[in-house]
A and B are shown apart, each in its own frame.
Chain A
Amino acid sequence: MLRTETYTMNFGPQHPATHGVFQVVLTLDGEKIVKAEPVCGYLHRGIEKLAESRTYQQVIPYTDRMDYLASMLQNWGYVMAVEKLMGLEVPERAEYLRVISGELSRLASHVLATGVYALDVGGFTGFLLCFRERERMMDLLEELTGSRMTFSYARFGGVADDAPEGWLEKLDKLMDDMPGYIDEYDGLITGNEIFQARTKQVGGLSPETAIDYSLSGPVLRGSGINYDLRKAKPYSIYDRFDFEVPVGKNGDCFDRYFCRVREMRQSVRIIKQAIEQIKEIDGPIKGKVPKALKPPKGDAYAEIESSKGILGFYVVSDGTNKPHRVHVRRPSFINLGYLDEMSRGWLIADLVAILGSIDIVLGEVDC
């Protein structure tokens, strides 16, 4: 009687398709995945613990280092939690600058996710095209903040700096070009039959399971659930913009990918509207905030829609100038939790497609 036996194989930690230092211990039956056990922690730096020995302001640069592909949003999340804790007001112009820079950061993150996903399933050209636009976005963000990836731009009660002269016009021009670029991605990646064969009907995720596992972001919306914090619980000034929340149908890899592409178009729409509206708003970019920040005893939780999903910051204050505890709800980490069940029964090559479609950043997973 012929009998097959399972064996284990390491996927990562040094593997370019894991998007960082991430290991999956695979139990395989031939080429079929029986069990996929994610092992994370290779990039753990203890940011939550480090935050306890830093003052409130000094934690901001550390939040950059979590999701370093969209660090503007990470800054924003943390700053929002502390603002909630202290009841700080944010001037209107600062809110607009946060929305513009945050959406630009989201766009940069999604462009990278799209390009890298094309690379994961074997399309190198798409990867290069996406990086061409990302470069333009990085240049703009660098002009605004001085850094290319780790911005540390948000401050309590505002932002660090106003937009430099002519920056909004440059951004407007990029936003004019962007839909054309996204059409190119659609032509090159989305419409490609090989890409579709690799991603459609692969790694299905039902809407019920997605909710049960508390997944969020494009992973959740790809399964057909219309839940975007910007619409569901509008924070900041998101209620002033007209945009849609793209949702998928089947919850497969293709839907998750395509949600991101369509989200890019919505981000472009939001930025265009924000540029129009910010022109009429002149005012301070930073509210009245004491230099030595000592929030009252208590705790606060604030969440925003990051590029990967719902990003939450829980800050506990004991009345001193250092946070007693900072906890982060990292969407990448929570979305990764379903990887095992999602990849069971698929081939090794499909695991790369599945992992790529979740769009994780290891800086955020390991924190």
Chain B
Amino acid sequence: MFGNGLIKGLRITWKEFTSKKFTVQYPEEQHTKPERFHGRFVFDADKCIACNLCANACPNNVIELKSEKVEKKKFLTKYVMNIEYCLFCGMCVEACNKDAINFSLEHDMSQYNYDAIPLILVEREAPKPEPKPEEATPEASGEKAEPKVKGKGKQKEETPAASADKSASDEVAAGKAPEKEGQ
């Protein structure tokens, strides 16, 4: 009989009408993210040996890495990811032998201003061997830098995310980091 298909389809629609809802009301409720989620990057400057493997593995030259030689060792002074070009493919995380760069579960990375997009993970000055040492920026999570920090002399946190709160009060040389790390 013509119309059988329509009736059958309508039956399925009505069955769905009474079944459990699948929609998640986004900002209030959120899906749980899997462990391997490719979210915002977290960086551990203590583990990094500035070997440039991540920067070389990146297909889009997202990672800007600079280091200086301090007492025959490489000291990481800058680690900035131009996240607007990032494909979130995970090649850098895979390339890292020291487990210094990793994904976090944070997915909310939108910014109002273009300048705020680059993810400044480390930006600090290398400790000078003899004369008066320069003050490290709040992101100077390296312990090597810490003993030489004078002035405010605040204890710096390990992870960039945690340092964000402190850096908010730390108005000097905070750079663009607080806007980014705070949110």
* Interface bits B37-61 vs A (CB < 8 Å: 1, else 0): 1100000000000000000011100
Instruction: Count A-B pairs with CB separation below 8 Å.
Output: 80
Is B25 engaged at the interface, CB distance under 8 Å to the other chain? no
Contact pick for A57, options B11, B35, B57, CB 8 Å: B57
Q: How many residues of B contact A (CB 8 A)?
A: 29
> With A129-B16, A164-B36, A188-B13 given, is the CB distance from A152 to B90 under 8 Å?
yes
CB distance from B51 to the nearest CB of A (A): 13
CB distance from A48 to the nearest CB of B (A): 15
Contact pick for A58, options B35, B59, B88, CB 8 Å: B59
* B172: chain A residues within 8 A (beta carbon): none
Q: Give the CA-CA distance A144 to B37 in the complex, in Å.
A: 9
B9 touches A192 (CB 8 A): yes
* B22: chain A residues within 8 A (beta carbon): 132, 135
* B6: chain A residues within 8 A (beta carbon): 192-194
Give the residue among B8, B9, B22 with the most A Cβ atoms within 10 A.
B9
Q: Give the CA-CA distance A135 to B90 in the complex, in Å.
A: 22
> With A54-B59, A161-B36 given, is the CB distance from A191 to B91 under 8 Å?
no
CB distance from B47 to the nearest CB of A (A): 20
Is A14 engaged at the interface, CB distance under 8 Å to the other chain? no
Is B151 engaged at the interface, CB distance under 8 Å to the other chain? no
* B36: chain A residues within 8 A (beta carbon): 142-146, 161, 164
CB distance from A108 to the nearest CB of B (A): 16
B89 touches A152 (CB 8 A): yes
Look across to chain A and name the residue whose beta carbon is closest to the beta carbon of B15. Answer: A184
Look across to chain B and name the residue whose beta carbon is closest to the beta carbon of A145. Answer: B36
CB distance from A188 to the nearest CB of B (A): 5
CB distance from A133 to the nearest CB of B (A): 10
Q: Give the CA-CA distance A132 to B13 in the complex, in Å.
A: 14
Look across to chain B and name the residue whose beta carbon is closest to the beta carbon of A58. Answer: B59
Give the residue among B11, B38, B89, B94 with the most A Cβ atoms within 10 A.
B89
Look across to chain B and name the residue whose beta carbon is closest to the beta carbon of A132. Answer: B22
Is A62 engaged at the interface, CB distance under 8 Å to the other chain? yes
* A277: chain B residues within 8 A (beta carbon): none
Is B129 engaged at the interface, CB distance under 8 Å to the other chain? no
Q: How many residues of A contact B (CB 8 A)?
A: 34
CB distance from B152 to the nearest CB of A (A): 39
CB distance from A8 to the nearest CB of B (A): 37
Q: Give the CA-CA distance A152 to B12 in the complex, in Å.
A: 37
Is B3 engaged at the interface, CB distance under 8 Å to the other chain? yes
* A150: chain B residues within 8 A (beta carbon): 87-89
A58 touches B91 (CB 8 A): yes
Contact pick for B13, options A54, A59, A125, A164, CB 8 Å: A125
CB distance from A254 to the nearest CB of B (A): 13
* Interface bits B75-101 vs A (CB < 8 Å: 1, else 0): 000000000000111110010000000
* B91: chain A residues within 8 A (beta carbon): 57-58, 61, 152
* Interface bits A87-98 vs B (CB < 8 Å: 1, else 0): 000000000000
Is A30 engaged at the interface, CB distance under 8 Å to the other chain? no
Is B5 engaged at the interface, CB distance under 8 Å to the other chain? yes
The 10 closest A-B pairs by CB, nearest first: A61-B89, A58-B59, A146-B36, A191-B5, A143-B34, A146-B38, A152-B89, A188-B9, A61-B87, A192-B5
Known: A61-B87, A143-B36, A189-B9. 10 other contacts (CB 8 A): A60-B89, A61-B91, A62-B59, A64-B89, A129-B16, A142-B33, A150-B87, A161-B36, A164-B34, A187-B12
9 contacts between A and B (CB under 8 A): A142-B33, A142-B34, A145-B36, A152-B91, A187-B8, A192-B6, A192-B9, A193-B3, A196-B5
